[in-house]
A and B are shown apart, each in its own frame.
Chain A
Amino acid sequence: MTQTTLPPTKKTAPVSAPEGTVTDRSRGERRLGWMLAGPAFLVMLAVTAYPIAQAIYESLFSYRLTDPANREFIGLGNYGVILTDPLWWQSLGVTALITFITVVVELVLGFALAMVMAKALSSIRPVVRAAILIPYAVITVVSAYAWQFAFDINSGFVNSWFTWIPGVSADTDWFGDWGTSIFVICLAEIWKTTPFISLLLLAGLAQVPEVLQEAAKVDGATWWQRLRKVTLPNMKAAIMVALLFRTLDAFRIFDSIFVMTAGANGTESVSFLAYRQTISRLEIGLGSAVSVLLFISVVLIAFVFIKGFKIDLAQARGEG
């Protein structure tokens, strides 16, 4: 049995449409379009393009906020300092690790939850959906504190409830080691953002044509075969979009680490590094350079996803 997807529908243009010329009407529509979208476009430029440009500009200076007199142009010097520092590579590694673990686990869990939501009786579906969505509605800092309190050696309940698990005792200091800290941080992230992935996947599930499922059933395909050969191939676009969004999101992790370990035990992420240089040390130049590198990393991830996996964002939105 091969993978089964429906042939893409072709966009149909009216036969009478003249080719290549722009009519007055379409020109007018285009102008109206710009007038409607223009203000939003300007606001976008003001709130995204301008700060990005400023960060890039300032990353070329040695500039401390409390010492503006000694501001000095040093070209790419800040980038040299960062890229030759093991701390940068360690933070990048930690960030990549957390991103990988959380995204993989969330994808599997999120898919299972999406199936539950899709298959739930229509009478309880809204309740199930709301219940699954609650963690996503919780503010990240609040969720981070909740998980920190749960695992805290003094106030937490985890150490007394889970002593039956080997390695967990009343004296387990979760935030005292690298491995256990990363574990709790990942757990908090997974709990919080799995609903996001499952929602995106639910939308993808709804796009799988029922006729294909029925055809496969008639052919005698088992549940597992239908999942692998019919459901997943038809959802590829939705899965890739969910992965892309979550990966970009996970790569910027900050709140949980800030609350739980404050970067101790080598748990510092790239965002945290940028925060420490810019806000704590007031080294605007160095901090901007870290931010720019973070931005480049995120752009690279998006590029790899979109080109490498050939995601068609328009198709995932149902415009294809």
Chain B
Amino acid sequence: MTEIPGQRPPERRAAAPRPARARAPRRLASAAAGVVLASTLAACGGASGGPPTLTWYINPDNGGQAELAARCTEAAEGRYRIETSLLPRDAASQREQLVRRLAANDASIDIMSLDPIYVPEFAQAGFLADMPEDVADRVTEGTVQGAVAQSTWGDELVAIPFTANTQLLWYRTSVAEAAGLDTSASDTWTWEQIVQAAEDQGVLVGAQGIRAESLTVWLNALVESAGGSIIADHAEDPDRLELGLTSEAGDRAAEVMAMVAGSDAVGPAFSTEDESGSAAGFEGENGGFQVNWPFIYAQAQAGVADGVLDQAVLDDYGWAVYPRVDADTPSAPPIGGVSLGVGALSQHPDLAYEATECITGDENQAYYMINEGLPASSAAVFDDPAVVEEFPMADTIRQSLEQAAPRPQTAYYNEVSGGLQRSYHPPSAVEPGETAERATELITAVLRGEQLL
């Protein structure tokens, strides 16, 4: 799941109308009828059998996961049926609902679409069923490194990588060329170079300075790109957890963050800028550079289709792997997406794992990527001609996913992320050294139960 799962799909709809959508209401009606029928039958049939039903808790999308559920139900040839159940829209609310259900021993949760940042928490709390080794071997083969990393806890794969979003650097080719940047080496650009170029050309650099999860995404990418990690050690124990913010890499990250936020190249509302704010600035006449998820490309396509954006602007879009902090070290771009967890209380964990393998099959991932716009976790999908046609930047996304580093992996993610957001906001007030110490003190105290958050 990206930080803004709800914002991309409508634009995609407008961008590339598909005939299937005309049938959507009817499909919905028949699905509804199916649900009613199924529940009636279940009520009447009682123990009369039929295949076991697996319930898949999904994040809202445009029907892609429901379609995969139907496909895999068919592929199972009567061994199981998958039903989907809708979770709230944002990742935090999804976690709240799942945690409350699981803490109350809800056995109806067979498969769940999880934001990877919560995978360690679910694993540590014992909410995820043990994964058979052969399944783990199969689902990691050919899967991009970043997606495997964020589905792992304690050296074991605990969730199955499904989608894998990542942020890219987007730039206006004309601006970059005018500023004298070498566009053939755009993967090696540093934050300093970009801000310098934007200031020279009087254009904007977009990043997410809002006090929200997006800020953690940015900070983590900077720290990881500088060769450090937000959590240095003991991610599993709140009393011993050690943060790596007060390191050289942490200082370097804070320096870059303050440099960007304090430059003339950011918009006037940088401390409240989110992904759509960055995208709006980039589409505007002062657009220059931004780091953002790939949804902005589909959004621009939709803008052209609706006549609110010039085709010339879209043609000017360039993309590259996330900017570097250190000129000689490849960056560690942010990664998001969805991993599938199997509920520990599921009545049929073996079937559920089988179903997740079906759901995350290459063909299904390609379907999902094309129809929902969320990049796949399987590297092979990026070679699919249909995917390449829809995503001209597919290769860059794959490379970005291979280089990506997940956000701090800990069962106390909310405390860590919330503490970071409180300390590093507003980004223009970040002071290398001082902010890191403050954040370390705060997060440590919060984790030990000595302070509020």
A residues sitting closer than 8 Å to B (CB atoms) are 62, 65-68, 81-82, 85, 87-88, 153-154, 171-173, 175-176, 261-265, 273, 276-277, 279-283, 286, 290
Whether A175 and B272, one on each chain, are in contact in the complex, defined by CB atoms closer than 8 angstroms, is: yes
Whether A154 touches B414, Cβ cut-off 8 Å, given contacts A66-B103, A81-B450, is no
Whether A67 touches B272, Cβ cut-off 8 Å, given contacts A82-B452, A87-B452, A176-B426, is no
Whether B415 and A171, one on each chain, are in contact in the complex, defined by CB atoms closer than 8 angstroms, is: no
What are 21 sample pairs from A and B whose C-beta atoms fall under 8 A apart? A62-B449, A66-B103, A66-B127, A67-B125, A81-B449, A81-B451, A82-B452, A87-B451, A153-B269, A171-B269, A176-B269, A176-B426, A262-B211, A262-B212, A264-B211, A264-B272, A265-B211, A282-B99, A282-B414, A283-B449, A286-B449
- Sample of 11 more A-B contacts, CB < 8 Å, known A65-B100, A277-B453, A281-B453: A66-B124, A81-B449, A87-B451, A154-B280, A175-B272, A265-B211, A276-B452, A276-B453, A280-B414, A281-B415, A283-B449
Q: Cβ of A85: which chain B residues have Cβ within 8 Å of it?
A: 451-452
Assess whether B433 is interfacial by the CB under 8 Å rule: no
A-B complex: 6 closest residue pairs judged by Cβ atoms:
A171-B268, A264-B211, A66-B125, A173-B269, A153-B269, A176-B271
Q: Cβ of B99: which chain A residues have Cβ within 8 Å of it?
A: 65-66, 282
Cross-chain contact of A153 among B103, B212, B268, B414 (Cβ < 8 A): B268
Assess whether B11 is interfacial by the CB under 8 Å rule: no
Residue total for B at the interface (Cβ-Cβ under 8 A): 31
Q: Cβ of B251: which chain A residues have Cβ within 8 Å of it?
A: none
CB distance from B201 to the nearest CB of A (A): 19
**Residues 388-432 (chain B) with a chain A CB within 8 angstroms:** 411, 414-415, 418, 425-426
Q: Roughly how many angstroms separate A87 CA and B5 CA in the complex, as a whole number?
A: 32
**Residues 112-128 (chain B) with a chain A CB within 8 angstroms:** 121, 124-125, 127
Q: Cβ of A276: which chain B residues have Cβ within 8 Å of it?
A: 418, 452-453
Assess whether B37 is interfacial by the CB under 8 Å rule: no
Q: Roughly how many angstroms separate A62 CA and B415 CA in the complex, as a whole number?
A: 16
Q: Cβ of A173: which chain B residues have Cβ within 8 Å of it?
A: 268-269, 271-272
Whether B452 and A277, one on each chain, are in contact in the complex, defined by CB atoms closer than 8 angstroms, is: yes
B residues sitting closer than 8 Å to A (CB atoms) are 92, 96, 99-100, 103, 121, 124-125, 127, 210-212, 267-269, 271-272, 276-277, 280, 411, 414-415, 418, 425-426, 449-453
Kindly report which residue of chain A lies nearest to residue B448, judged by CB atoms: A81
Q: Cβ of B211: which chain A residues have Cβ within 8 Å of it?
A: 261-265
CB distance from A318 to the nearest CB of B (A): 45
Determine which residue in B124, B269, B272, B280 has the highest number of CB atoms from chain A within 10 A of its CB, and name it: B272
Kindly report which residue of chain A lies nearest to residue B121, judged by CB atoms: A66
Determine which residue in A66, A81, A171 has the highest number of CB atoms from chain B within 10 A of its CB, and name it: A66
Q: Cβ of B210: which chain A residues have Cβ within 8 Å of it?
A: 264
Q: Cβ of A62: which chain B residues have Cβ within 8 Å of it?
A: 449
Q: Cβ of B451: which chain A residues have Cβ within 8 Å of it?
A: 81, 85, 87
Cross-chain contact of B452 among A67, A88, A265, A282 (Cβ < 8 A): A88
Q: Cβ of A279: which chain B residues have Cβ within 8 Å of it?
A: 96
Q: Roughly how many angstroms separate A224 CA and B210 CA in the complex, as a whole number?
A: 50
Kindly report which residue of chain A lies nearest to residue B442, judged by CB atoms: A87
Q: Cβ of A262: which chain B residues have Cβ within 8 Å of it?
A: 211-212
Whether B92 and A154, one on each chain, are in contact in the complex, defined by CB atoms closer than 8 angstroms, is: no
Q: Cβ of A264: which chain B residues have Cβ within 8 Å of it?
A: 210-211, 271-272, 425
Whether A66 and B411, one on each chain, are in contact in the complex, defined by CB atoms closer than 8 angstroms, is: yes
Q: Roughly how many angstroms separate A68 CA and B271 CA in the complex, as a whole number?
A: 38
Q: Cβ of A87: which chain B residues have Cβ within 8 Å of it?
A: 451-453
Q: Roughly how many angstroms separate A85 CA and B276 CA in the complex, as a whole number?
A: 35
Kindly report which residue of chain B lies nearest to residue A82, judged by CB atoms: B452
Q: Cβ of A280: which chain B residues have Cβ within 8 Å of it?
A: 92, 96, 414, 418
Q: Cβ of A281: which chain B residues have Cβ within 8 Å of it?
A: 414-415, 418, 453
Kindly report which residue of chain B lies nearest to residue A153, judged by CB atoms: B269
Determine which residue in A153, A154, A265 has the highest number of CB atoms from chain B within 10 A of its CB, and name it: A154
Q: Roughly how many angstroms separate A66 CA and B413 CA in the complex, as a whole number?
A: 12
Kindly report which residue of chain B lies nearest to residue A91, judged by CB atoms: B452
Q: Roughly how many angstroms separate A261 CA and B451 CA in the complex, as a whole number?
A: 22
Kindly report which residue of chain B lies nearest to residue A280, judged by CB atoms: B414
Whether A68 and B414, one on each chain, are in contact in the complex, defined by CB atoms closer than 8 angstroms, is: no
Whether B452 and A286, one on each chain, are in contact in the complex, defined by CB atoms closer than 8 angstroms, is: yes
